[in-house]
Each structure stands twice: as structure tokens, then as C-alpha cells.
Structure 1
């Protein structure tokens, strides 16, 4: 994987962030979701290099080979604002004053927060399989809670760690097929999930989501803050986001001024399952300001 890429560990002050990066054009930052690492982009990243971009793939705080501070009762060290501050510092240390940003799953919430908090940094943003956390919560019913039960299970104290660490490979294996992911990507994931500190950090991500992150979104709404840069949405046709909530573009128009959307013929992990389609959408969207 990532044959043209170099790796760097960036000390952000609060965390150490493992980063894969390559290229010399406009900087595209790709933020992974749960429980993946930056390796999830191993098929998309080289295609974006071919489009003439620099590509930066970090492991989010606490995921993969990145490390963050110890968890706290308020979950603030694992909030999306904290994770977004890591990405801002990575960009500063790599010399990127403006970035093109894409996030998938949990990474999409970090991308959303970075775009809202630092519009001076983010030029365009793509969010994949995502609506705001508070929009999910506002629409929660028995159908959503049944389908997305893991949000509420992961938010419980202590129990999820004990359940997952009893056999982490068995827990994650059903959605981690090496043939679909790629063998090296799969091996990297298996290494990460065997680490109790990594599992704890991933769960803190969800605990922060239902508490401090949701509060931050409510504060955004109360203050009238919106995503002012162009927003591109992608959602998987074989996942359930549209089935549960309808066309996500309609939801995001309450949050952003300039919204477009693309259905991707894929399951949830679209960067692994439909890399060419993802890279083509990102490449076209990110090239518009050149």
C-alpha cells in the first residue's frame, strides 16, 4: 500500500498523529471512519495523485497508530473539535495554508467540525455517508435505534470495552473482509483493534458524539453558523442512510449554502469497494477552483 507515500508522525501538542502523504499539488486531506485507519484510502489516494493533488491521509486521534491524551469524564479529549485541531496542526506543519477535505463516517464529523471552526483553512469539503449527529438524534425512532444500535451501545461506560476486547477480531471480522479491503489494509486494522488503548479511544469517539459533539452542533445552530464552502455529499447505495432519512442533500441544505450529492454504488466502506468512482467524484469536485 501507499508505495509513493512517506510517513510522518506529527506532534500536535495534545496528540501524536501518524500521517501518510505524497504529491506536490493542491492538498487533499482524507479522514477515515470507524474502525478503519488511514489505510482505508489505499486505493483512492494513488488515484488522486494521478489527478495532480497532494494527498494526506492521517490516522485520527486514538485510531490506528495515532495517540491522544487519556480519556476524561466529559469526553472532551476525543471530541471532534479536538480531533479537528489535530488536523489543523498537521496542515500547518506540512505547510498547507488551504486544504481540500474529505471525511467518511466518523471522519466526516471531524471534517465537518474543522470546516465550521476553521473556514480559513478548508477550501472545499466532501462528506461521505454522513448527516450531522443532531439530525440523527432528532430523527431517532425504533427503526433507527435498531439499525444503529452500536451508537448507543458504544456510549455506555466500561461494558463495550470488555465485550470487544474479549475477542476483538470476532467483533470486527463480519465487516472486515480481507478480499474486499485488501490484505495489507485488513492486517493494519487487525493490529489496531488488538490494542486496548485504541479500542478505548474509538469508543470515546462515540461517547463524545452523543454528548460534547452534539452540544457543539446545537451551539452552531443557535449561533446560525453554517458551512460556507462548497459541500459535496456521497452516500452508499447499499448502506441505509437514505433508507432511514431520505435524500441527505435536503438535510444538509439547512447546514450549508452550496450542496451537491452523489450516490455511490457500494456498501458502507466506499473507498475500499468503489475507489475509482470515489476518486473521480473527489477529483472533479476538488479541481473546480484550479
Structure 2
């Protein structure tokens, strides 16, 4: 069954902005913190349809469409792209969890959702208990390391970020030809939801604004944190797909993350880029194992 037992709501997260969200209480309440699952581009929350029920056996699971994506509200664009920044999206996540009656939570992010998950852990350290990142390094780190190979393989970052010749015009001319996803890979309901999103010009515009924020305000936030020595205060799990190019670009992705996450673990997982759709059982198993790890004792205060 597609998201069996999950409620589907639209929840106000402040300033009149509502997120579409599926959520379900744990079968065994109190066994662990709520888990927020954040999708990437150009997916919606339905990308987690096979993972979320597995995690819901022990955890309350919350799956929103990020602001601008899917059927969540789309804030008006501004010249500085701040309404589509990861900081704004992270504030949405924190407000959403509060609205659902929880304080502390774990967050899992894939692709663009990974940047939101990172920003949530950095901006709300008193609330995020565990961070899981899938197929990503921090935006500031990616741009700092960008070379000819990155430009060749990830050229869409630069294309999507343009404003004088907006990418929306190209994508909206034939969204199916641009994104090339197949129903047999996504599942019927997930594919229908994804396809509804990519055929909505307002959603496509908001997704491009996500990338424009990435090149500007999001990078500035990452660089400011790096300069200030801010790090992730919670245990962090990083995984990357064996059939994607993160390891090709960065060698050991954990080496990139060590300056950001002192309590770090992770490794590759057998999958293509869309891990939740390619290998949901293994992904859910690894997330569950990570969430079940004993909490490390706090470091003693410095003398």
C-alpha cells in the first residue's frame, strides 16, 4: 500500500506558508525520536514511499514537500533568493515538527534535501538529535572544489542558477524529455506525483530558485559557518550511491565532511542516485541502525 497508515495534511509553518506533509506515529511510541525525511530535486516527499513505512515501525515519520516543491506553497521570488534559501527551508522543518507536537528530532536529507538537513542541524542544534546525509557534500565545499570535471558533470547547477536566460523556459517546453524518469523505476503513485510537479511551471520556477539560492545566499551561509568554526553538534551519518559520482568527484566523501561533523560515520550504499527508490530496504536498515546507536556522552568542558 502507498504510505499505508500515513496522514496527508497541509500544515502552516509560519507567515502563512503551508507545507504538504505525510506523517505517521510510530507503531512502538517512545522508541526513538521523530524522523523527518527530506527529498531532493526534482522529487516530492513521495520518493520515500518505500522507506517511510519501514522506519515507522519504530519512529514517528514526517515527510514534507520542501517549500517550492511538489504541492507545498511557493513563496514569491526575490532578487537575493532568500525565500528559497536552505535557511528558510530549515526554519520550515523546525516549525513543522513543532506543529506536529514534537521537540527534538532526527533529519534525513537526500540531494537538495541534504543541504536543508545540514542547515537544520547547524541552525537548530538544540533540536536535531541525528543527521543523515545522502549523496551530497556541503554546497560551499562543492563550489570551493569545483573544477572542469565538476563543471562537465554538474553543469546543471550553473544553468539552473541563471536569471538572464532562465532555465524554466527550456524545462517547461518538455518536462518529460528534460527529466527522463520512468514509471517502472519510481512506482506508479510516486511517478504520478513527481510528474504532476514537473509539469507545474510554478514548481519548476521554485526549483530553479532553490539552485539560485544555492549559488548565492546558501554558499554565503556555509562559508560564514566555516569561517566561524561552526560544526554539526549531533552524530552524523553520510552515505553515497555506488552508481553515482560523489566518490569520483571527491575521493572519500567522509574526508570532506570531517571538518563539519566531528561525530561522523558512513560509507557507500549500493544504488543509483535516487537511493530511496533504488534500495529502500538497505537504506532504511542503515538509518534505523544509526538512530539506535547509543548517544555519546557529552564532551567535558574545557578547562
Alignment TM-score > 0.5, same fold? yes
Matches of 2:115 and 2:130 in 1, distance apart? Answer: 15
Contact 2:137/2:257 (8 A) holds in 1 = yes
| Superposition pairs of residues 157-196 of structure 1, within 5 angstroms | 157=163, 158-173=165-180, 176-196=181-201
Task: Please name the residue that 2:235 is paired with.
Answer: 230
Root mean square deviation, CA, Å: 1.0
Task: Please name the residue that 2:301 is paired with.
Answer: none
Matches of 2:104 and 2:293 in 1, distance apart? Answer: 15
Contact 2:74/2:202 (8 A) holds in 1 = no
Task: Please name the residue that 1:32 is paired with.
Answer: 39
For 2:56, what is the secondary structure of its paired residue? Answer: helix
**2:106 counterpart of 1:100:** yes
Task: Please name the residue that 2:124 is paired with.
Answer: 118
Count the aligned residue pairs.
Answer: 287
For 1:261, what is the secondary structure of its paired residue? Answer: strand
Matches of 2:227 and 2:74 in 1, distance apart? Answer: 30
**2:81 counterpart of 1:75:** yes
Matches of 1:178 and 1:249 in 2, distance apart? Answer: 33
Deviations 1:111-142 (A, max 9, x none): 00000000111000000001011111111111
Matches of 2:64 and 2:46 in 1, distance apart? Answer: 9
Match of 1:254 among 232, 254, 259: 259
The TM-score with structure 2 as length reference comes to 0.93
Runs of 4+ residues deviating >2 angstroms: none
Matches of 2:272 and 2:213 in 1, distance apart? Answer: 26
Deviations 1:122-167 (A, max 9, x none): 0000000010111111111111100000000000114201000111
Match of 1:200 among 200, 205, 208: 205
Gap runs ≥5 in structure 1:
none
Match of 1:23 among 22, 25, 28: 25
For 2:23, what is the secondary structure of its paired residue? Answer: strand
Deviations 1:49-100 (A, max 9, x none): 12x1111000000100101310101000000000011111101100110001
Structure number having the greater helix percentage: 1
Matches of 2:190 and 2:168 in 1, distance apart? Answer: 23
Deviations 1:8-30 (A, max 9, x none): 11111232100100023331110
Shift of 1:289: 4.2
The TM-score with structure 1 as length reference comes to 0.97
